[in-house]
Structure 1
């Protein structure tokens, strides 16, 4: 454990000469550092033994005349020594021994006496938050924050800095209010077009937008709130305007696709023997479609984690343990590779290959996707294979099971959804399909009209 000692070491015949008090920190055999404490005192008024101003001190001289009352001045002086000691002890608890250096000690002392020089701004806090996220474990899983989430932090921070630059202003905690919210949203979504004419009076005040979709903008607001809440918990942010109900992370229902069982069968039965790379990616995709595993969890399907017809795993994202029964297609694929699936390529390569695979299997039904950008909702037509991604697998798993009549609560135990509300938003079931599902339920109960 580190020890802290205050002392003077200047010997002078001039009794009126003020000398510096030093701080010495020792920790084990490797740490022994000294720095000035930025406090002056007459040598005769200081005791190295008690590390305090002595009873006979002429307190008038301690701070070049700052304290004029001897008793009150001496007490205040000693209180400041105690405060500095406590501050150093607190800082030592937050640093590794190998990082305790003379330069670190000088900075900490200066930070104690001149806190305004080191005041944490919104942007400096966010940068520190991002830097720490590379090693700081997620409290729910015990693992470091994922690369995808760290990337989201960085992108959101970039938009904030770009917005501040466009406004030619500094944005700090106190500035995050509803006026900021409106301006930031406008910055992210506003796009000049014929449908949004700009008058000569307002054009100079408008900020060119980023053309982000509604859900992307909502994600940026959600991430900003992560920063602000973290700063709040650490006592760095004392402002609460961002907690207003109007400071909302906007969303719109996403029009993503799923593949029904007939389409999955077409992909499974297609011959990819002349393209072994795509054949392996096809097989991994189908494993995900019939297990509900995330892309990040496929590598956990190993002989050690498969027994008695079940996959035993701990989900990487949630840290939750799940038990997944083997579907016949999954069993066939595992047997094909002697129980050891091919290595997973990168998410980007996987997604590119999936579109080629789905196209080869003739997954070409026309579908429409509407998205709001720049305040305008635009619908675009696609062939279904163009929209297939790694995440299509999990959505297909959940949707196909739900449509088959399998209980939602049991599906959620595998997918990891906490509430049925979020689960029902996740699956792709149309209002017509819900109605037909109810009709089948009534028919099966043989209800009679009385």
Structure 2
């Protein structure tokens, strides 16, 4: 095949006078620039056609077809690279041209696509630190958080254990109704609570959705997987109970004192653990009248909240720590210390906590979960999230409008917010009486 006279590629011999085979060099010229590329082939100079820049068609040149075919393909590739760069208005520099030609000469082998759900989850978790949150509009544009990755790993551990006993391989194309029933039954048999089982299924659905988006499968059966959830019987602390906790003298126990102070701050601001445990002085601002407020973007959702600082306990804590609250410790250790604190504050009301575990309705006892129980003391159920739940419930009991509380907590959906309102039957009846009872009587004239 005749070479184009305007081709940017010229093939030269390194030593045209050699008596032995000498390397063929590719010289690429463009815009008064030149780069040389070694192509890995050698040829005897007397077998080389200088005008055609190809190996001669002689019997002794046994590999002429392979070499000439390679030279032809490389020349065409270089011309296509130049055409693409120019059409996209990309400047032809030595660095860019060499990078593109190197990519052609040394293509990176495409990684084998994961075929099983377990392999895909491993791959997905590995890419999570640079992967944006999917789904809710309120959370898009943020990278997946370490807390979410930890939950993914928990689900992965469950899938790996389940795969060992499931008779079919967990191929992405096999994640169907049969898998859903078997996996749900397996989780239930492990005595997991209904809501815990639901979290596993929710994550599996998310993984399968991502696998479809990545083009690894076209299996859409996961869309019919039901998430069976039940309302959690979580507790909140009343304003009186919060007062007892705040009034504890913990001056001789800095470990408990710092945790108590952070908890009380959260209970009167509605902040999550991830926010109140990392609060900085820059988050405390003041308006033109000197009124202080918390202004931050929530780590979990990325939503911005502004919370007036008006409760006396919050004001005192900011003064105590000069607007720099103690750094939080791990969530688990904080929960352990909170239980110790609440026990000291005698938060010992008996609570009946019902839940479905292993497919059976049970009640939490001091020794675990059983069918009958006098309940457990309230302090054993307190966690960091109890503060946020207490804030929402106490503000609701004060009569603050739901939408206003949601502005403070950062909730977008009322249905999600209402799960935070934890008032018992007696409190509900009291509130009803306040609304239904007679107001001030006006004398009729």
Question: Relative to 1, partners in 2 of residues 1:435 and 1:361: Cα closer, same or farther, differing over 3 Å?
Answer: closer
**Which residue, 338, 352, 358 being the options, matches 1:368?**
352
Alignment match, 1:398: 392
Q: Does the residue aligned with 1:378 lie in a helix, a strand or coil?
A: strand
CA distance in 1, matches of 2:9, 2:119: 32
Question: Any conservation in 1 of the 2:268–2:314 contact (CA below 8 Å)?
Answer: yes
User: Is 1:264 matched up with 2:242?
Assistant: yes
Partner residue of 1:292 out of 261, 266, 270: 270
Aligned-pair CA distance for 1:124 = 2.7
CA 1:177–1:393 in 2, change beyond 3 Å: closer, same or farther? same
Aligned to 2:183: 184
> How many Å separate the matches in 1 of 2:38 and 2:387?
61
Please say if 1:217 is aligned against 2:201. Answer: no
The answer as to 2:295 corresponding to 1:305 is: no
Query: What do residues 361-396 of structure 1 show as CA deviations (whole Å, max 9, x unaligned)?
Result: 111111111222211121022111111110000000
Match of 2:123 among 124, 128, 137: 128
Distance 1:10 1:256, change over 3 A: farther
Give secondary structure in 2 for the equivalent of 1:134. helix
* TM-score relative to the length of structure 2: 0.70
Aligned position for 1:318: 301
**SS of equivalent to 1:311:** strand
Question: What RMSD over aligned residues (CA atoms) do the two structures have, in Å?
Answer: 4.3
- Larger Cα Rg: Structure 1 or Structure 2? 2
Alpha-carbon distance between aligned partners in 2 of 1:282 and 1:272, rounded to the nearest angstrom: 9
Q: 1:171 to 1:304 in 2, by over 3 A?
A: closer
Distance 2:201 2:9 in 1: 48
Residue aligning to 2:255:
277
Q: Compute the displacement of 1:183 (Å).
A: 0.4
Q: How many equivalent residue pairs?
A: 366
Measured in 1, the distance between the counterparts of 2:326 and 2:398 equals: 30
Q: CA deviation at 1:433?
A: 3.5
The 3-state SS of whatever aligns with 1:235 is: coil
Cα distance in 2 for partners of 1:228, 1:106 equals: 36
Aligned residue for 2:87? none
Cα distance in 2 for partners of 1:110, 1:227 equals 25
SS at match of 1:300: coil
Structure-1 residue corresponding to 2:417: 423
Structure 1 CA distance for aligned equivalents of residues 281 and 393 of structure 2: 26
List 4+ stretches of structure 1 deviating above 6 A: 5-11, 31-36, 100-107
1:161-180 correspondence runs (5 A): 161-180=160-179
- Which residue is equivalent to 2:233? 255
Unaligned runs of 5+ in 1: 12-21, 25-30, 37-42, 50-60, 63-73, 87-96, 112-116, 191-209
Q: Please say if residues 284 and 323 of structure 2, whose CA atoms lie closer than 8 Å, have aligned partners that are also in contact.
A: no
Aligned to 1:118, the other structure's residue is in SS state: coil
CA contact (8 A) 1:33 1:102 kept: no
Residues 33 and 101 of structure 1 are in contact (CA less than 8 Å); yes or no, is this contact kept in structure 2? Answer: no
Q: Deviations over 1:127-165 (max 9, x none)?
A: 111011123344736543222210111111121121111
